[in-house]
Amino acid sequence: MVACYQKDYPRPQFVRSQWQNLNGTWAFAFDDENVGEANGWQNGIPAGMVIEVPFSYETTRSGIGDQTVHNNVWYQRTITVSKESLGTDHLIVHFEGSDYRTKVWLNGVYLGVHEGGYARFSFDLTQALCDGENVLVVKVEDSLNESQPRGKQRWVDHNFACWYVQTTGIWKTVWMEQVPQQHIESVKITPNVQSRCVEIEGTICAGASKDLWLEVEVSFGGRCINKVMLPVLQERVSTTIDLYDPQTTESWGAFLWSPQNPALYDLTFCLRLNNVAVDRVSSYFGLREIRIENGNILLNGGPLYQRLILDQGYWKDSHLTPPSEEALIEDIDKIMALGYNGVRKHQKIEDERFLYWCDVKGLLVWSEMAAAYRFHDDAVQAFTNQWMEIVRQNYNHPSIITWTPFNESWGVPFVETNRTQQHFTEAIYHLTKSFDPYRPVIVNDGWEHTISDILTLHDYEAQGDALFDRYGNHKDDVLTSKVYLGAFKAALAKGFAYKGQPVIISEFGGIAFANGQQGWGYGDKVADEEAFLDRFDSVTTAIKKLPYVCGYCYTQVTDVQQEINGLMDETRQFKVNPERIKEINLRKESNIR
């Protein structure tokens, strides 16, 4: 753990000591006729129902468990504030995630709206506060509209294929914090392995104050490595901090982050006005570098073979919402016990506590956007805005080594040939790179790639020999789209050529093992554990023997609702012997790089 860790703190890379968790019992109401605003519900919603936040009403953990579609839902709770104790400070309410369009009122005063289901957003409560009890009211508008980024949430009123029950309303933590008028708004942390330094860019909400300084201290293991003082002359300040440590025996003269040794530096930020501390924030970072060179993915200059598993982040009784921080830790520990060194977090932006524990434990993460399923102007704008919110929010996490905005042409169904849709994917690639030039970006994971730093392929072939023949003996045909993946998709969109990128089989397997459950998976269901392990060994080993392929991603961690191709069931019980899976994953093959 790092010095700033607080259990259940929802924003673990930007920590203040004073905060209040607003999860728990709220008043709740459905508004199927969408008459609430006209009838004044922003001043107080009808009495009757309650809900356990942050679980959506569709889940049993919410206390409601109604899976039917309700497009408008309302929440209400009371918060108690002493204006005398608050003084000149501001009180901010944060929503870690609320799907899809969220409006907020305090004491009937409208504070604002946020659109998008997966990113954090905040509102300043200060101007609407009363001394004593205050009424916080939230309205969330959702729909089955295919143009809103929704990930694996169904857009009809029943589950089908690999799409599941929708998530409506608040589904991540709601919390408050008190901040001074002059405060640190955000920090962007960029490690530089080659120079053994870290670049810090801070955004300061400072007003017209003079004599304002930002103090930044880097430490490791409780020992100060370096400290700098920056004058705050404008909204943004930046500096580069040397991490060279003459006392360490590390070969780089600094501590590198990797899955084998997830070393983390502690960071403290102190905003000083006339040499008096007015705001303190704690953070951390990992010094690591991910780059591509000669068809290889390099971590800290060495080849990285990625053994990933697809992780959809669903729980039986709470769906997209993790039931607890311990549940997130359990998932990470079990994934690592299976011999995987990373996850492809599929079609979901996970609770940020998950990323914290991946940082701490050394589990690599591909961060993937939730897809929309139609292409038009509104969908393009919504996707672009929401994706960049997410990239900015999670940029500082060292465990994230790849951005994946698109998957399997979802939302861009004609990208293989349609130049307009190709332009959109290229624009998102370059926009992502403009904010983060240091991580690979996979533009259309699976097939029909346009511009992409890694060429990723999806193939659920059930026979290892056939899989090896396809990619071992027909490599050039696959990479030039002469041979289609699974006989129906091209690796590259028309007009785009393979340019020597690293190749990863980023979806395969998906073996359906009922284990007493009804549902589906890829290929014929296997009868028992031994049949499962035989097929798993066959397809995994076939990929590991491909000399030019530098990693794979198996589908998937757990069963999800009607989908029964997990290595664990929905309650996180192993369906097969984890030691056998680990042995297959870690077994060395003669052709592996």
Q: How many domains does the chain have?
A: 3
pLDDT in tens, 305-338: 999 999 999 999 999 999 999 999 999 999 999 9
Question: How far from the centroid of its chain's Cα atoms is residue 205's Cα?
Answer: 27
- Please indicate, yes or no, if residue 347 is contained in any of the structural domains: yes
- E strand or H helix that includes residue 72: strand 72-81
Q: Hey, is 186 helix, strand or coil?
A: strand
Residues 219 and 251 in one domain: yes
Instruction: Give the number of other CB atoms < 10 A from CB of residue 509.
Output: 27
Q: Cβ(350)–Cβ(315) under 8 Å?
A: no
Residues 231 and 132 in one domain: no
Distance CA(508)–CA(492), nearest Å, equals 18
Residues 491 and 542 in one domain: yes
At which of 237, 255, 285 does a domain end?
285
Q: Cβ(309)–Cβ(365) under 8 Å?
A: no
Q: Which residue has the tokens 């899955």?
A: 259
User: What's the confidence (pLDDT) of residue 80?
Assistant: 97
CA-to-CA dists, residue 16 to 8, 69, 90, 268, 471, angstroms: 13, 38, 14, 10, 51
pLDDT in tens, 364-376: 999 999 999 999 9
* Radius of gyration (C-alpha) of the chain in whole angstroms: 24
Calculate mean pLDDT across residues 361-366. 98
- Please indicate, yes or no, if residue 358 is contained in any of the structural domains: yes
Peptide bond into 149 cis (omega under 30): no
- Please indicate, yes or no, if residue 300 is contained in any of the structural domains: no
Which residues on adjacent β-strands are paired with residue 296?
A: 293
Q: Cβ(349)–Cβ(589) under 8 Å?
A: no
Residues 381 and 523 in one domain: yes
Residues 100 and 224 in one domain: no
Q: What band does 253 get if pLDDT is binned at 50, 70 and 90?
A: confident
- Please indicate, yes or no, if residue 591 is contained in any of the structural domains: no
Residues 142 and 258 in one domain: no
Distance CA(572)–CA(11), nearest Å, equals 26
Calculate mean pLDDT across residues 247-257. 85
Q: What band does 486 get if pLDDT is binned at 50, 70 and 90?
A: low
Report the CATH number at residue 341: 3.20.20.80
Q: Cβ(30)–Cβ(73) under 8 Å?
A: yes
Q: What band does 298 get if pLDDT is binned at 50, 70 and 90?
A: very high
Distance CA(529)–CA(147), nearest Å, equals 41
- Please indicate, yes or no, if residue 80 is contained in any of the structural domains: yes
Report the CATH number at residue 102: 2.60.120.260
- Please indicate, yes or no, if residue 11 is contained in any of the structural domains: no
Distance CA(365)–CA(346), nearest Å, equals 10
Round to the nearest angstrom and report the end-to-end CA distance of the chain. 32
Q: Cβ(199)–Cβ(297) under 8 Å?
A: no
Q: With a cut of 90, say whether residue 249 has pLDDT above it.
A: no
- Please indicate, yes or no, if residue 178 is contained in any of the structural domains: no
Query: Which tokens belong to 338?
Result: 């299976």
Domain housing 122: 23-172
Instruction: Give the number of other CB atoms < 10 A from CB of residue 312.
Output: 25
Instruction: Give the number of other CB atoms < 10 A from CB of residue 460.
Output: 18
- E strand or H helix that includes residue 337: helix 325-337
Residues 158 and 219 in one domain: no
Q: With a cut of 60, say whether residue 590 has pLDDT above it.
A: no
- E strand or H helix that includes residue 534: helix 529-544
Which residue type, as a one-letter code, is found at position 462? A
Residues 488 and 396 in one domain: yes
The DSSP call for residue 387 is H
The DSSP call for residue 528 is S
Q: With a cut of 90, say whether residue 43 has pLDDT above it.
A: yes
Residues 521 and 413 in one domain: yes
**pLDDT above 90: percentage of residues in the chain:** 91
Q: With a cut of 90, say whether residue 488 has pLDDT above it.
A: no
Residues 580 and 552 in one domain: yes
Residues 238 and 98 in one domain: no
Report the CATH number at residue 265: 2.60.40.10
pTM of the prediction? 0.96
- Please indicate, yes or no, if residue 537 is contained in any of the structural domains: yes
Which residue type, as a one-letter code, is found at position 61? R
Q: Cβ(308)–Cβ(343) under 8 Å?
A: yes
User: What's the confidence (pLDDT) of residue 248?
Assistant: 79
Classify strands 169-170 and 98-99 as parallel, antiparallel or unpaired. Answer: antiparallel
Which residues on adjacent β-strands are paired with residue 298?
A: 291, 303
Q: What band does 188 get if pLDDT is binned at 50, 70 and 90?
A: very high
Which residues on adjacent β-strands are paired with residue 49?
A: 28
Residues 6+ apart with CB under 8 A from 227: 215, 216, 217, 218
CA atoms within 13 A on the CB side of 198: 31
Q: Which residue has the higher pLDDT, 52 or 486?
A: 52
The rounded mean pLDDT for the chain is 95
CA angle 37-39-42, nearest 5°?
Answer: 50
Residues 280 and 311 in one domain: no
Q: With a cut of 80, say whether residue 19 has pLDDT above it.
A: yes
User: What's the confidence (pLDDT) of residue 487?
Assistant: 59
**pLDDT above 70: percentage of residues in the chain:** 98
